[in-house]
Amino acid sequence: MKPSVKVPFVNLGLQYQNIRTEILAKFDDISSRGAYILNEDVTAFEENFAAYCGVKYAVSVGNGSDALVLCLHALGVGPGDEVITAPNSFIASAWVIARVGAKPVFADVRADYNIDPAKVREAVTPRTKAILPVHLTGRPAAMDELTEIAQKFSLFVLEDAAQAIGAKYYGRQAGSLGDAGCFSLHPLKNLHVHGDGGMITTNNQELFNKLVLLRNHGLKNRDECVLWGFNSRLDGIQAAIANIKMKYLGEWTRRFRAIAERYTQALRGLLNVPSDLPHEESVYHRYVVRSDRRDALQAHLAEQGVETKVNYPIPIHLQEVCHGLGYQRGDFPIAEQLAGEILSLPIYAEMDDGQVDWVIEAVKNFHSGGA
């Protein structure tokens, strides 16, 4: 018999219950105005988002993948170019590079799951056009070292901040650390909408101008198209929802960090657990532990009603889609080792301490021979 779930991996309904009245009122407002595309809510959300990230410009788009595609396109990355990224991310951070005709080049990560600047340096060739670090799990990548490499070789730095809204690096916000920052507002993200959505942040006015065109058919005005572009817009209704949630983001982020802290305090010594370095503030989009008995631990937790996930079990360079790129097992030993050991424990702002403790107990009794 399937054990009953005590701590689901996600529970989006809870968040909705907490802000239901506000959301319904907003739906009402939009429906009575009849404006759904690039409306005032979109503009307001972009302004909020830019201010939150401490950048001059924010451009909303259809989803987090499109945020990356549009940036690469706008930066002129294309056929013949190479972009260096991490092999342990969600597949989108690699396919966006292929999408614009460039070649994804992987560099191994460090034990903190983020791309290793030393490996990036080794991967630079005359064809390298950009570095695309992923702030995986919500922890900022080593941006200072990466920026130094980028400056030395005149490369763009495009932050994949899909998991990292609110994360800080030496006090600076994720999304403000590279030439542009790309965010996802997918329902499983810390700040999310009720469908697909994405956002790009930048201080570069020229890039901003281009992105605004690219997301909306290249239209300079209703009738004039100055470049053939995409259609990738954040729905007005989703922007309105996101705007409501922006108000709570600080509170939610504190809760994510508090849960992470509770896990870390309790599980340190039993498992490899994450913790911030002094200059980092991770937002723990994923709370990832490592165990050499990962699969057994996952099975044990499932029996205890704790849902867990592996983000992600197959490194990108070993995916079928990458066969043509010539990588093989052993190329990125750390990413490969991590893939076999990582486990994401449930974490979301609406989890209560009882649930967190339940997870902790379940992990503890796995190690005390309860399983």
Q: Which of 114, 238, 243, 308 binds other proteins (CB under 8 A)?
A: 238
Part in contact with other proteins (CB under 8 A); list of ranges 124-132, 170-178, 219-227, 276-284: 219-227
What does the alpha-carbon distance between residue 108 and residue 95 come to, in Å, rounded to a whole number? 17
Q: Which is nearer to other proteins, 223 or 251 (CB)?
A: 223
User: Any contact of residue 34 with other proteins (CB under 8 A)?
Assistant: yes
Q: Which is nearer to other proteins, 236 or 274 (CB)?
A: 236
Residue ranges in 242-301 that form contacts with other proteins under rule CB under 8 A? none
User: Any contact of residue 209 with other proteins (CB under 8 A)?
Assistant: yes
Strands 128-132 and 180-184 come out as: unpaired
Q: Which is nearer to other proteins, 66 or 116 (CB)?
A: 66
Q: For residue 25, how many other CB atoms are within 10 A of its CB?
A: 10
Q: Where are the alpha helices (DSSP H) in 169-229?
A: 205-214
Q: For residue 328, how many other CB atoms are within 10 A of its CB?
A: 10
Q: Looking at residue 233, what DSSP letter applies? A: -
For the record, the structure tokens of 232 come out as 């990738």
Q: Which of 4, 154, 223, 354 binds other proteins (CB under 8 A)?
A: 223
Q: Which is nearer to other proteins, 149 or 185 (CB)?
A: 185
What does the alpha-carbon distance between residue 77 and residue 128 come to, in Å, rounded to a whole number? 10
Q: Using CA atoms of 96, 234, 349, 27 in order, give the dihedral in degrees to the nearest 10.
A: -160
User: C-beta of 134: minimal distance to other proteins in Å?
Assistant: 15
User: C-beta of 50: minimal distance to other proteins in Å?
Assistant: 4
Q: Which of 1, 221, 354, 368 binds other proteins (CB under 8 A)?
A: 221
Part in contact with other proteins (CB under 8 A); list of ranges 28-36, 116-124, 135-143, 270-278: 28-36
Q: Which of 5, 6, 22, 23 binds other proteins (CB under 8 A)?
A: 23
Q: Which of 3, 17, 148, 296 binds other proteins (CB under 8 A)?
A: 17
| Tokens 């080593």, residue located | 142
For the record, the structure tokens of 160 come out as 């994949």
Q: Which of 2, 171, 228, 369 binds other proteins (CB under 8 A)?
A: 228
Part in contact with other proteins (CB under 8 A); list of ranges 25-33, 133-141, 151-159, 247-255: 25-33
| Ramachandran region, residue 179 (left: φ > 0; alpha: ψ -120 to 50; beta: rest) | alpha
Contact yes or no for 86/134 (Cβ under 8 A): yes
Listed residue (205, 192, 178) closest to 68, CA to CA: 178
Q: Which of 103, 135, 139, 186 binds other proteins (CB under 8 A)?
A: 186
Residue ranges in 35-94 that form contacts with other proteins under rule CB under 8 A? 35-39, 42-43, 46-47, 50-51, 56-59, 62-66, 79, 90-92
What does the alpha-carbon distance between residue 241 and residue 108 come to, in Å, rounded to a whole number? 37
| Tokens 């909020």, residue located | 48
The kind and range of the H/E element at 131 are strand 128-132
Residues 152-181, one symbol each (x = binds other proteins by CB under 8 A, - = not), give ------------------------------
What does the alpha-carbon distance between residue 362 and residue 271 come to, in Å, rounded to a whole number? 13
The kind and range of the H/E element at 41 are helix 40-53
For the record, the structure tokens of 355 come out as 């649930």
Q: Which is nearer to other proteins, 125 or 231 (CB)?
A: 231
User: Any contact of residue 101 with other proteins (CB under 8 A)?
Assistant: yes
Size of the site for other proteins (CB under 8 A): 83
Part in contact with other proteins (CB under 8 A); list of ranges 109-117, 172-180, 187-195, 255-263: 187-195
Part in contact with other proteins (CB under 8 A); list of ranges 109-117, 157-165, 202-210, 269-277: 202-210
For the record, the structure tokens of 68 come out as 């990356």
